[in-house]
Amino acid sequence: MPLACRLGCALVAHWAARSRQFAKVRGALLVAPTDVEAPSYPPGTTGFAPMPLAKLPFPSIVVSSTDDEYVRPGHINSASGLPAWPEGFGFVEELRAR
């Protein structure tokens, strides 16, 4: 999975911690979070540590796996063999209904 894709959840957390422009955000589906501070994280990223730990100011759903090398409990990526993902669309609909 490209490095930029791995950082999507971290980017949302940093944006929410710094911005006040989230009033129109109805929700966030955060898939495959990574631990950018872990020793196992691939080199080459800067500016994402330390991770904000505050609760997001909008509804969110986090989806992860249990067997990921980049974060525990787990990271989902293309190597995990994820096929078409109707459950993901279900999560989006859940957020839209809030």
Poorest-pLDDT segment among 28-32, 63-67, 88-92: 63-67
DSSP alpha helix (H) spans, the chain: 3-6, 8-18, 86-97
At residue 80, the pLDDT reads: 63
pLDDT at position 56, please?
95
- E strand or H helix at 89: helix 86-97
Residue numbers of the domain that contains 23 = 3-97
The three-class DSSP label of residue 56 is: coil
Domain count of the chain? 1
pLDDT at residue 27 is higher than 80: yes
To the question of pTM greater than 0.75 for the whole model, the response is yes
Q: What percent of the chain has pLDDT over 90?
A: 37
